[in-house]
Structure 1
Protein backbone atom coordinates (compact mmCIF):
# COMPACT_ATOMS: atom_id res chain seq x y z
CA UNK A 1 0.00 0.00 0.00
CA UNK A 2 1.31 3.47 -0.89
CA UNK A 3 0.79 6.04 1.85
CA UNK A 4 1.08 9.81 1.94
CA UNK A 5 4.61 9.74 3.32
CA UNK A 6 6.14 7.69 0.52
CA UNK A 7 7.76 9.25 -2.51
CA UNK A 8 6.71 7.53 -5.70
CA UNK A 9 5.96 8.37 -9.30
CA UNK A 10 2.35 9.16 -10.12
CA UNK A 11 0.43 7.07 -12.62
CA UNK A 12 -2.77 7.53 -14.60
CA UNK A 13 -5.67 5.11 -14.98
CA UNK A 14 -8.55 5.20 -17.47
CA UNK A 15 -12.10 3.89 -17.15
CA UNK A 16 -14.57 3.85 -20.04
CA UNK A 17 -18.02 2.41 -20.62
CA UNK A 18 -18.52 3.57 -24.20
CA UNK A 19 -20.53 6.58 -23.04
CA UNK A 20 -17.97 8.37 -20.90
CA UNK A 21 -14.22 8.05 -20.48
CA UNK A 22 -12.59 9.15 -17.23
CA UNK A 23 -8.89 9.53 -16.52
CA UNK A 24 -7.45 9.61 -13.01
CA UNK A 25 -4.05 10.38 -11.51
CA UNK A 26 -2.74 8.61 -8.42
CA UNK A 27 -1.47 11.97 -7.14
CA UNK A 28 -4.44 13.24 -5.16
CA UNK A 29 -6.64 10.45 -6.59
CA UNK A 30 -7.64 13.24 -8.94
CA UNK A 31 -10.08 13.08 -11.85
CA UNK A 32 -8.11 14.82 -14.61
CA UNK A 33 -10.25 14.19 -17.71
CA UNK A 34 -13.89 13.40 -18.42
CA UNK A 35 -15.02 12.93 -22.02
CA UNK A 36 -18.27 11.89 -23.68
CA UNK A 37 -18.60 9.30 -26.44
CA UNK A 38 -17.75 11.92 -29.08
CA UNK A 39 -14.53 12.82 -27.28
CA UNK A 40 -15.73 16.19 -25.99
CA UNK A 41 -13.75 17.17 -22.88
CA UNK A 42 -15.67 18.48 -19.87
CA UNK A 43 -12.86 19.05 -17.36
CA UNK A 44 -10.39 21.93 -17.38
CA UNK A 45 -6.69 21.10 -17.22
CA UNK A 46 -3.98 23.67 -17.88
CA UNK A 47 -1.17 23.88 -15.28
CA UNK A 48 -0.11 27.23 -16.72
CA UNK A 49 -3.41 28.67 -15.44
CA UNK A 50 -4.21 26.46 -12.44
CA UNK A 51 -2.28 23.54 -11.02
CA UNK A 52 -5.23 21.22 -10.48
CA UNK A 53 -8.33 19.85 -12.23
CA UNK A 54 -10.42 18.26 -9.49
CA UNK A 55 -8.51 18.24 -6.19
CA UNK A 56 -10.05 16.46 -3.21
CA UNK A 57 -10.00 18.44 0.03
CA UNK A 58 -9.23 16.44 3.21
CA UNK A 59 -9.10 16.54 6.22
CA UNK A 60 -10.11 20.21 6.13
CA UNK A 61 -11.81 22.43 3.57
CA UNK A 62 -10.56 25.98 3.23
CA UNK A 63 -8.17 27.74 5.56
CA UNK A 64 -7.52 27.68 9.28
CA UNK A 65 -7.09 30.86 11.28
CA UNK A 66 -3.31 31.31 11.57
CA UNK A 67 -3.02 27.93 9.78
CA UNK A 68 -3.58 26.07 13.05
CA UNK A 69 -6.14 24.20 15.11
CA UNK A 70 -6.26 22.96 18.69
CA UNK A 71 -7.33 19.53 19.90
CA UNK A 72 -7.17 18.46 23.54
CA UNK A 73 -5.05 21.48 24.35
CA UNK A 74 -2.39 20.74 21.71
CA UNK A 75 -1.74 22.90 18.66
CA UNK A 76 -1.41 21.50 15.12
CA UNK A 77 -0.74 23.12 11.74
CA UNK A 78 -2.43 22.22 8.46
CA UNK A 79 -2.24 23.94 5.05
CA UNK A 80 -5.32 25.26 3.29
CA UNK A 81 -7.50 22.36 2.08
CA UNK A 82 -5.40 19.80 3.97
CA UNK A 83 -2.83 17.40 2.55
CA UNK A 84 -4.70 14.97 0.28
CA UNK A 85 -4.66 16.91 -2.98
CA UNK A 86 -0.87 16.48 -3.22
CA UNK A 87 -0.66 13.02 -1.64
CA UNK A 88 0.15 9.86 -3.57
CA UNK A 89 -2.73 7.39 -3.33
CA UNK A 90 -2.63 3.64 -3.84
CA UNK A 91 -5.09 1.91 -6.15
CA UNK A 92 -6.94 -0.49 -3.86
CA UNK A 93 -9.26 -2.02 -6.48
CA UNK A 94 -10.02 -1.49 -10.15
CA UNK A 95 -12.40 -3.14 -12.59
CA UNK A 96 -14.20 -2.22 -15.81
CA UNK A 97 -16.47 0.36 -14.19
CA UNK A 98 -14.84 1.50 -10.95
CA UNK A 99 -11.59 2.41 -9.27
CA UNK A 100 -10.92 2.83 -5.55
CA UNK A 101 -8.00 4.89 -4.24
CA UNK A 102 -6.78 4.80 -0.64
CA UNK A 103 -4.38 6.58 1.69
CA UNK A 104 -3.72 6.01 5.37
CA UNK A 105 -2.08 7.98 8.12
CA UNK A 106 1.71 8.23 8.37
CA UNK A 107 4.07 9.79 10.92
CA UNK A 108 4.05 12.89 8.70
CA UNK A 109 0.26 13.21 8.69
CA UNK A 110 0.00 12.44 12.41
CA UNK A 111 2.25 15.41 13.14
CA UNK A 112 -0.26 17.65 11.33
CA UNK A 113 -3.50 15.83 12.07
CA UNK A 114 -3.50 13.53 15.12
CA UNK A 115 -5.84 10.82 13.88
CA UNK A 116 -5.26 7.38 12.41
CA UNK A 117 -7.49 6.95 9.38
CA UNK A 118 -8.21 5.27 6.08
CA UNK A 119 -9.50 7.59 3.39
CA UNK A 120 -10.90 6.11 0.19
CA UNK A 121 -12.09 7.83 -2.97
CA UNK A 122 -14.20 5.49 -5.09
CA UNK A 123 -15.17 6.42 -8.65
CA UNK A 124 -17.88 4.42 -10.43
CA UNK A 125 -19.13 4.81 -14.00
CA UNK A 126 -22.87 4.31 -14.48
CA UNK A 127 -24.16 4.97 -18.00
CA UNK A 128 -23.77 8.74 -18.52
CA UNK A 129 -22.75 9.45 -14.91
CA UNK A 130 -19.73 9.13 -12.66
CA UNK A 131 -20.34 8.63 -8.96
CA UNK A 132 -17.68 9.77 -6.49
CA UNK A 133 -17.76 8.36 -2.95
CA UNK A 134 -15.55 9.72 -0.17
CA UNK A 135 -15.26 7.07 2.53
CA UNK A 136 -13.45 7.76 5.79
CA UNK A 137 -12.69 5.21 8.50
CA UNK A 138 -11.68 6.24 12.01
CA UNK A 139 -9.01 3.82 13.27
CA UNK A 140 -8.86 5.46 16.69
CA UNK A 141 -10.50 4.64 20.02
CA UNK A 142 -11.67 8.26 20.24
CA UNK A 143 -13.89 10.45 18.06
CA UNK A 144 -12.31 11.74 14.84
CA UNK A 145 -13.10 15.13 13.29
CA UNK A 146 -12.68 15.93 9.61
CA UNK A 147 -14.07 17.70 6.57
CA UNK A 148 -14.12 16.64 2.94
CA UNK A 149 -14.88 18.51 -0.25
CA UNK A 150 -14.55 18.43 -4.01
CA UNK A 151 -13.17 21.20 -6.21
CA UNK A 152 -13.86 20.14 -9.80
CA UNK A 153 -13.05 22.56 -12.61
CA UNK A 154 -15.51 22.33 -15.51
CA UNK A 155 -14.38 23.55 -18.89
CA UNK A 156 -16.10 26.66 -20.28
CA UNK A 157 -14.27 27.19 -23.59
CA UNK A 158 -16.17 30.40 -24.44
CA UNK A 159 -15.60 31.86 -20.96
CA UNK A 160 -17.89 31.59 -17.94
CA UNK A 161 -20.05 34.58 -18.89
CA UNK A 162 -21.52 32.36 -21.60
CA UNK A 163 -22.74 29.97 -18.89
CA UNK A 164 -25.41 29.78 -16.21
CA UNK A 165 -25.86 27.60 -13.16
CA UNK A 166 -29.33 26.15 -12.68
CA UNK A 167 -30.43 25.15 -9.17
CA UNK A 168 -33.01 22.45 -8.58
CA UNK A 169 -34.90 24.82 -6.26
CA UNK A 170 -35.43 28.57 -6.22
CA UNK A 171 -32.77 30.13 -4.04
CA UNK A 172 -31.98 33.34 -2.22
CA UNK A 173 -28.23 33.18 -1.84
CA UNK A 174 -25.91 35.27 0.31
CA UNK A 175 -22.19 34.77 -0.21
CA UNK A 176 -19.79 35.19 2.68
CA UNK A 177 -17.07 37.77 2.09
CA UNK A 178 -13.66 36.09 1.85
CA UNK A 179 -10.93 37.62 4.00
CA UNK A 180 -7.64 35.97 3.05
CA UNK A 181 -8.17 32.26 3.73
CA UNK A 182 -10.95 33.02 6.22
CA UNK A 183 -14.57 34.13 6.10
CA UNK A 184 -16.17 37.33 7.32
CA UNK A 185 -19.62 37.31 8.87
CA UNK A 186 -20.64 39.95 6.31
CA UNK A 187 -22.42 38.63 3.25
CA UNK A 188 -23.37 39.85 -0.21
CA UNK A 189 -26.72 38.97 -1.83
CA UNK A 190 -26.01 37.10 -5.07
CA UNK A 191 -29.40 35.64 -5.98
CA UNK A 192 -32.97 36.53 -5.00
CA UNK A 193 -35.75 33.94 -5.30
CA UNK A 194 -34.44 32.47 -8.54
CA UNK A 195 -33.12 29.15 -9.78
CA UNK A 196 -30.73 30.63 -12.36
CA UNK A 197 -27.35 32.20 -11.61
CA UNK A 198 -25.80 33.96 -14.60
CA UNK A 199 -22.04 33.64 -14.17
CA UNK A 200 -19.87 36.78 -14.18
CA UNK A 201 -16.14 37.18 -13.72
CA UNK A 202 -16.86 40.11 -11.39
CA UNK A 203 -18.19 37.64 -8.82
CA UNK A 204 -14.68 36.29 -8.42
CA UNK A 205 -12.73 39.55 -8.22
CA UNK A 206 -11.77 38.73 -4.61
CA UNK A 207 -12.20 34.96 -4.39
CA UNK A 208 -15.01 32.40 -4.37
CA UNK A 209 -18.76 32.57 -3.95
CA UNK A 210 -19.30 30.85 -0.60
CA UNK A 211 -22.74 29.67 0.50
CA UNK A 212 -23.73 28.16 3.84
CA UNK A 213 -27.49 28.37 3.36
CA UNK A 214 -29.16 26.82 0.31
CA UNK A 215 -31.95 24.34 -0.41
CA UNK A 216 -30.75 22.64 -3.59
CA UNK A 217 -28.94 19.32 -3.71
CA UNK A 218 -28.23 19.56 -7.43
CA UNK A 219 -26.94 22.19 -9.86
CA UNK A 220 -26.55 22.10 -13.64
CA UNK A 221 -23.92 24.02 -15.58
CA UNK A 222 -25.38 25.14 -18.92
CA UNK A 223 -23.89 27.00 -21.84
CA UNK A 224 -26.19 29.70 -23.16
CA UNK A 225 -26.10 28.20 -26.65
CA UNK A 226 -27.23 24.85 -25.25
CA UNK A 227 -24.14 23.01 -26.45
CA UNK A 228 -22.88 22.00 -23.02
CA UNK A 229 -24.84 20.83 -20.01
CA UNK A 230 -23.50 18.88 -17.05
CA UNK A 231 -25.27 18.15 -13.77
CA UNK A 232 -23.73 17.81 -10.31
CA UNK A 233 -25.74 16.12 -7.54
CA UNK A 234 -24.47 16.55 -3.97
CA UNK A 235 -26.97 15.28 -1.37
CA UNK A 236 -25.56 15.38 2.14
CA UNK A 237 -23.06 18.18 1.51
CA UNK A 238 -23.53 21.16 3.83
CA UNK A 239 -21.75 23.98 1.98
CA UNK A 240 -21.42 25.05 -1.65
CA UNK A 241 -18.84 27.20 -3.42
CA UNK A 242 -18.19 28.41 -6.96
CA UNK A 243 -14.78 29.66 -8.02
CA UNK A 244 -12.60 30.56 -10.97
CA UNK A 245 -9.26 32.28 -11.26
CA UNK A 246 -9.79 35.99 -10.68
CA UNK A 247 -7.72 37.22 -13.62
CA UNK A 248 -7.41 36.56 -17.32
CA UNK A 249 -10.98 35.36 -17.92
CA UNK A 250 -10.07 31.76 -17.15
CA UNK A 251 -12.17 29.26 -19.17
CA UNK A 252 -13.50 27.18 -16.29
CA UNK A 253 -15.77 27.24 -13.26
CA UNK A 254 -15.28 25.11 -10.16
CA UNK A 255 -18.39 23.63 -8.57
CA UNK A 256 -17.48 22.74 -4.99
CA UNK A 257 -19.78 20.86 -2.62
CA UNK A 258 -18.12 20.68 0.80
CA UNK A 259 -18.76 19.07 4.15
CA UNK A 260 -16.91 21.81 5.98
CA UNK A 261 -16.03 25.46 5.73
CA UNK A 262 -13.08 27.83 6.17
CA UNK A 263 -12.58 29.27 9.63
CA UNK A 264 -14.36 32.50 10.45
CA UNK A 265 -12.13 35.51 11.14
CA UNK A 266 -12.56 35.12 14.92
CA UNK A 267 -12.23 31.33 15.09
CA UNK A 268 -11.22 29.96 18.49
CA UNK A 269 -9.11 27.25 16.77
CA UNK A 270 -11.14 24.34 18.19
CA UNK A 271 -11.38 21.78 15.36
CA UNK A 272 -14.41 20.15 16.98
CA UNK A 273 -16.39 23.38 16.49
CA UNK A 274 -15.48 24.14 12.87
CA UNK A 275 -18.53 24.78 10.64
CA UNK A 276 -19.66 21.59 8.93
CA UNK A 277 -17.13 19.37 10.70
CA UNK A 278 -17.92 15.65 10.62
CA UNK A 279 -17.52 13.55 13.76
CA UNK A 280 -16.80 9.84 13.25
CA UNK A 281 -17.18 7.58 16.26
CA UNK A 282 -14.35 5.24 17.31
CA UNK A 283 -13.68 2.57 14.65
CA UNK A 284 -16.58 3.98 12.65
CA UNK A 285 -16.88 4.86 8.96
CA UNK A 286 -18.55 7.84 7.30
CA UNK A 287 -19.19 8.32 3.59
CA UNK A 288 -20.65 11.00 1.37
CA UNK A 289 -21.20 10.87 -2.38
CA UNK A 290 -21.69 13.21 -5.29
CA UNK A 291 -22.48 12.43 -8.92
CA UNK A 292 -21.56 14.09 -12.22
CA UNK A 293 -23.93 13.47 -15.15
CA UNK A 294 -23.54 14.38 -18.81
CA UNK A 295 -26.66 15.84 -20.36
CA UNK A 296 -25.04 17.16 -23.52
Structure 2
Protein backbone atom coordinates (compact mmCIF):
# COMPACT_ATOMS: atom_id res chain seq x y z
CA UNK A 1 0.00 0.00 0.00
CA UNK A 2 1.32 3.44 -0.96
CA UNK A 3 0.38 6.51 1.09
CA UNK A 4 0.45 10.11 -0.11
CA UNK A 5 -0.64 13.08 1.97
CA UNK A 6 -0.74 16.83 2.29
CA UNK A 7 -2.12 19.29 4.83
CA UNK A 8 -5.72 18.28 4.14
CA UNK A 9 -5.86 14.81 2.60
CA UNK A 10 -4.39 11.36 3.09
CA UNK A 11 -4.79 8.83 0.28
CA UNK A 12 -3.83 5.16 0.27
CA UNK A 13 -3.43 3.30 -3.01
CA UNK A 14 -2.89 -0.42 -3.50
CA UNK A 15 -0.21 -1.50 -5.98
CA UNK A 16 -2.67 -4.22 -7.03
CA UNK A 17 -4.67 -2.52 -9.75
CA UNK A 18 -3.34 0.91 -8.70
CA UNK A 19 -6.62 1.05 -6.77
CA UNK A 20 -7.50 3.88 -4.40
CA UNK A 21 -8.42 2.26 -1.07
CA UNK A 22 -8.75 5.25 1.26
CA UNK A 23 -9.22 9.02 1.11
CA UNK A 24 -9.44 10.81 4.46
CA UNK A 25 -10.18 14.48 5.08
CA UNK A 26 -10.79 15.91 8.57
CA UNK A 27 -10.90 12.37 10.03
CA UNK A 28 -13.70 11.40 7.62
CA UNK A 29 -13.22 8.40 5.31
CA UNK A 30 -14.80 8.94 1.90
CA UNK A 31 -13.93 5.65 0.16
CA UNK A 32 -15.82 2.40 0.52
CA UNK A 33 -13.45 -0.05 2.21
CA UNK A 34 -14.56 -3.11 0.28
CA UNK A 35 -16.19 -6.09 1.98
CA UNK A 36 -16.26 -9.50 0.33
CA UNK A 37 -19.78 -10.23 1.54
CA UNK A 38 -21.08 -7.02 -0.08
CA UNK A 39 -18.70 -5.75 -2.77
CA UNK A 40 -14.98 -6.33 -2.41
CA UNK A 41 -13.89 -3.39 -4.55
CA UNK A 42 -13.17 0.19 -3.53
CA UNK A 43 -12.19 2.15 -6.65
CA UNK A 44 -11.06 -0.38 -9.26
CA UNK A 45 -9.65 0.80 -12.57
CA UNK A 46 -11.38 -0.61 -15.66
CA UNK A 47 -9.15 -1.45 -18.64
CA UNK A 48 -8.98 -2.35 -21.50
CA UNK A 49 -12.77 -2.58 -21.46
CA UNK A 50 -15.54 -0.98 -19.42
CA UNK A 51 -18.56 -3.21 -19.03
CA UNK A 52 -18.87 -6.63 -20.59
CA UNK A 53 -18.99 -8.49 -23.89
CA UNK A 54 -21.43 -11.13 -25.04
CA UNK A 55 -20.05 -14.41 -23.68
CA UNK A 56 -16.90 -12.45 -22.70
CA UNK A 57 -15.55 -12.84 -26.24
CA UNK A 58 -14.59 -10.65 -29.19
CA UNK A 59 -13.01 -11.15 -32.60
CA UNK A 60 -10.09 -9.06 -33.88
CA UNK A 61 -8.43 -9.66 -37.26
CA UNK A 62 -10.18 -13.01 -37.53
CA UNK A 63 -9.01 -14.31 -34.13
CA UNK A 64 -11.27 -14.82 -31.12
CA UNK A 65 -10.19 -13.53 -27.71
CA UNK A 66 -11.66 -13.85 -24.22
CA UNK A 67 -11.92 -10.70 -22.10
CA UNK A 68 -13.81 -10.63 -18.83
CA UNK A 69 -16.14 -7.89 -17.63
CA UNK A 70 -14.25 -4.64 -16.92
CA UNK A 71 -11.01 -6.17 -18.18
CA UNK A 72 -8.09 -7.53 -16.21
CA UNK A 73 -6.15 -4.51 -14.97
CA UNK A 74 -7.60 -4.56 -11.45
CA UNK A 75 -5.83 -7.90 -10.94
CA UNK A 76 -2.40 -6.68 -12.10
CA UNK A 77 0.33 -5.42 -9.79
CA UNK A 78 1.70 -2.03 -10.80
CA UNK A 79 5.24 -0.77 -10.40
CA UNK A 80 5.74 2.47 -8.45
CA UNK A 81 7.61 4.49 -11.05
CA UNK A 82 7.88 7.72 -9.08
CA UNK A 83 6.70 9.01 -5.70
CA UNK A 84 6.75 12.23 -3.70
CA UNK A 85 4.99 13.12 -0.45
CA UNK A 86 1.83 14.17 -2.29
CA UNK A 87 1.97 12.25 -5.58
CA UNK A 88 2.67 8.82 -7.02
CA UNK A 89 2.98 7.36 -10.52
CA UNK A 90 2.04 3.71 -11.07
CA UNK A 91 3.17 1.87 -14.21
CA UNK A 92 1.89 -1.31 -15.84
CA UNK A 93 3.33 -2.73 -19.06
CA UNK A 94 1.71 -5.29 -21.32
CA UNK A 95 3.20 -8.78 -21.23
CA UNK A 96 2.63 -12.20 -22.75
CA UNK A 97 -0.23 -12.90 -20.34
CA UNK A 98 -2.13 -9.70 -21.14
CA UNK A 99 -1.64 -10.26 -24.88
CA UNK A 100 -3.54 -13.54 -24.63
CA UNK A 101 -6.63 -11.41 -23.96
CA UNK A 102 -5.70 -8.05 -25.49
CA UNK A 103 -3.13 -8.43 -28.30
CA UNK A 104 -1.38 -5.08 -28.00
CA UNK A 105 1.82 -3.66 -26.54
CA UNK A 106 1.19 -0.66 -24.28
CA UNK A 107 2.26 1.23 -21.19
CA UNK A 108 -0.42 2.33 -18.73
CA UNK A 109 0.32 4.92 -16.06
CA UNK A 110 -2.00 5.99 -13.26
CA UNK A 111 -0.94 9.25 -11.62
CA UNK A 112 -2.33 10.35 -8.26
CA UNK A 113 -1.68 13.94 -7.17
CA UNK A 114 -2.92 15.82 -4.11
CA UNK A 115 -3.47 19.57 -4.35
CA UNK A 116 -5.02 21.13 -1.25
CA UNK A 117 -8.43 19.39 -0.92
CA UNK A 118 -8.34 17.81 -4.38
CA UNK A 119 -7.16 14.38 -5.46
CA UNK A 120 -6.40 14.36 -9.18
CA UNK A 121 -6.19 11.04 -11.01
CA UNK A 122 -4.69 10.98 -14.50
CA UNK A 123 -4.46 8.03 -16.89
CA UNK A 124 -1.79 7.79 -19.57
CA UNK A 125 -2.03 5.02 -22.15
CA UNK A 126 0.84 4.73 -24.64
CA UNK A 127 0.29 2.59 -27.71
CA UNK A 128 3.59 0.81 -28.48
CA UNK A 129 2.24 -0.72 -31.70
CA UNK A 130 2.28 0.55 -35.26
CA UNK A 131 -1.45 -0.13 -35.65
CA UNK A 132 -4.51 1.31 -33.92
CA UNK A 133 -5.16 0.05 -30.39
CA UNK A 134 -8.83 -0.06 -29.43
CA UNK A 135 -9.59 0.24 -25.72
CA UNK A 136 -11.82 1.73 -23.06
CA UNK A 137 -10.79 3.06 -19.67
CA UNK A 138 -12.84 4.07 -16.68
CA UNK A 139 -13.06 4.37 -12.94
CA UNK A 140 -15.41 2.45 -10.63
CA UNK A 141 -15.20 4.76 -7.61
CA UNK A 142 -17.02 3.54 -4.51
CA UNK A 143 -17.92 6.19 -1.92
CA UNK A 144 -18.89 5.39 1.64
CA UNK A 145 -22.46 6.31 2.58
CA UNK A 146 -22.75 5.06 6.18
CA UNK A 147 -26.30 6.40 6.61
CA UNK A 148 -27.50 4.64 3.44
CA UNK A 149 -27.77 6.18 -0.02
CA UNK A 150 -31.28 7.57 0.47
CA UNK A 151 -29.78 10.37 2.58
CA UNK A 152 -27.78 11.45 -0.48
CA UNK A 153 -28.28 13.07 -3.83
CA UNK A 154 -26.10 13.72 -6.86
CA UNK A 155 -25.91 17.36 -7.95
CA UNK A 156 -24.94 18.51 -11.44
CA UNK A 157 -23.71 22.00 -12.39
CA UNK A 158 -26.27 22.15 -15.20
CA UNK A 159 -29.88 21.06 -15.45
CA UNK A 160 -30.08 17.61 -16.97
CA UNK A 161 -32.75 15.38 -18.45
CA UNK A 162 -31.41 11.94 -17.68
CA UNK A 163 -32.59 8.70 -19.20
CA UNK A 164 -30.61 5.70 -18.02
CA UNK A 165 -29.76 2.96 -20.48
CA UNK A 166 -31.01 -0.39 -19.22
CA UNK A 167 -28.55 -3.26 -18.78
CA UNK A 168 -29.45 -6.88 -19.47
CA UNK A 169 -26.73 -8.98 -17.89
CA UNK A 170 -23.46 -7.50 -19.12
CA UNK A 171 -25.01 -5.95 -22.21
CA UNK A 172 -26.29 -2.43 -22.82
CA UNK A 173 -29.70 -2.19 -24.48
CA UNK A 174 -31.36 0.66 -26.35
CA UNK A 175 -34.14 0.75 -23.76
CA UNK A 176 -34.03 3.85 -21.54
CA UNK A 177 -35.47 4.54 -18.12
CA UNK A 178 -36.48 8.16 -17.33
CA UNK A 179 -34.76 9.34 -14.13
CA UNK A 180 -34.93 13.16 -13.93
CA UNK A 181 -36.24 15.90 -16.23
CA UNK A 182 -34.71 19.39 -16.49
CA UNK A 183 -33.27 19.54 -13.00
CA UNK A 184 -29.78 19.60 -11.54
CA UNK A 185 -30.11 17.06 -8.74
CA UNK A 186 -30.82 13.35 -8.60
CA UNK A 187 -32.09 11.96 -5.28
CA UNK A 188 -30.71 8.46 -4.72
CA UNK A 189 -33.04 5.55 -4.03
CA UNK A 190 -32.37 1.84 -3.64
CA UNK A 191 -35.12 1.09 -6.17
CA UNK A 192 -33.03 2.54 -9.00
CA UNK A 193 -30.49 -0.25 -8.60
CA UNK A 194 -32.64 -3.37 -8.43
CA UNK A 195 -31.46 -4.41 -11.91
CA UNK A 196 -27.95 -2.94 -12.26
CA UNK A 197 -26.20 0.37 -12.85
CA UNK A 198 -27.70 3.59 -14.18
CA UNK A 199 -25.82 4.34 -17.42
CA UNK A 200 -25.89 7.93 -18.70
CA UNK A 201 -24.38 9.13 -21.96
CA UNK A 202 -23.27 12.58 -23.17
CA UNK A 203 -24.18 14.63 -20.11
CA UNK A 204 -23.97 18.40 -20.47
CA UNK A 205 -22.34 18.50 -17.05
CA UNK A 206 -18.71 17.50 -16.64
CA UNK A 207 -18.83 16.96 -12.90
CA UNK A 208 -21.13 15.46 -10.28
CA UNK A 209 -21.31 16.18 -6.56
CA UNK A 210 -22.33 13.54 -4.04
CA UNK A 211 -24.02 15.34 -1.13
CA UNK A 212 -25.38 14.17 2.18
CA UNK A 213 -28.60 16.16 2.54
CA UNK A 214 -28.60 15.88 6.35
CA UNK A 215 -24.99 16.77 7.15
CA UNK A 216 -24.17 18.91 4.12
CA UNK A 217 -20.91 17.01 3.54
CA UNK A 218 -20.13 16.65 -0.14
CA UNK A 219 -17.48 15.64 -2.63
CA UNK A 220 -17.23 16.44 -6.33
CA UNK A 221 -16.08 14.13 -9.11
CA UNK A 222 -14.88 15.85 -12.29
CA UNK A 223 -14.91 14.00 -15.61
CA UNK A 224 -14.07 16.56 -18.33
CA UNK A 225 -13.16 14.03 -21.02
CA UNK A 226 -15.45 11.07 -20.36
CA UNK A 227 -18.40 10.16 -22.54
CA UNK A 228 -20.28 8.02 -20.03
CA UNK A 229 -21.22 8.49 -16.40
CA UNK A 230 -22.65 5.67 -14.30
CA UNK A 231 -24.12 5.22 -10.86
CA UNK A 232 -24.04 1.79 -9.26
CA UNK A 233 -25.02 0.45 -5.86
CA UNK A 234 -26.01 -2.83 -4.31
CA UNK A 235 -29.40 -2.23 -2.62
CA UNK A 236 -29.27 -1.83 1.16
CA UNK A 237 -25.48 -1.39 1.17
CA UNK A 238 -23.61 1.69 2.49
CA UNK A 239 -21.86 2.87 -0.66
CA UNK A 240 -22.52 4.41 -4.06
CA UNK A 241 -20.25 4.21 -7.09
CA UNK A 242 -19.72 7.24 -9.34
CA UNK A 243 -18.14 5.97 -12.55
CA UNK A 244 -16.71 8.08 -15.39
CA UNK A 245 -16.02 5.88 -18.45
CA UNK A 246 -14.53 6.61 -21.84
CA UNK A 247 -13.91 4.63 -24.99
TM range, normalised to the smaller chain?
over 0.9
Q: Which residues of 2 match residues 108-127 of structure 1 at below 5 A?
A: 108-127=97-116
Query: Which of 125, 139, 163 matches 2:152?
Result: 163
TM-score by length of 1: 0.82
Query: Which of 229, 238, 243 matches 1:251?
Result: 238
Higher RCO (CA 8 Å, separation ≥ 6 residues)? 1
Q: Post-superposition shift, 1:212?
A: 1.4
Q: Which residues of 2 match residues 137-156 of structure 1 at below 5 A?
A: 137-156=126-145
Deviating 4+ runs (over 6 angstroms): none
Alpha-carbon RMSD across the aligned residues, in angstroms, is 0.9
Q: Which runs of 5+ in 2 are unaligned?
A: none
Contact kept, 8 Å, 1:171 with 1:194, in 2: the verdict is yes
Counterpart CA distance in 2 for 1:122 and 1:213 is 25
The structure in which a higher percent of residues are strand is: 2
State yes or no: 1:41 paired with 2:34: no
Counterpart CA distance in 2 for 1:30 and 1:18 is 22
Contact kept, 8 Å, 1:164 with 1:222, in 2: the verdict is yes
State yes or no: 1:128 paired with 2:145: no
TM-score by length of 2: 0.98
Contact kept, 8 Å, 1:173 with 1:213, in 2: the verdict is no
Q: How many residues align?
A: 246
Q: Which residues of 2 match residues 11-22 of structure 1 at below 5 A?
A: 12-22=1-11
Query: Which of 39, 48, 62 matches 1:73?
Result: 62
Contact kept, 8 Å, 1:43 with 1:154, in 2: the verdict is yes
SS across alignment from 2:43? coil
SS across alignment from 1:146? coil
Aligned to 1:50: 39
Aligned to 2:168: 179
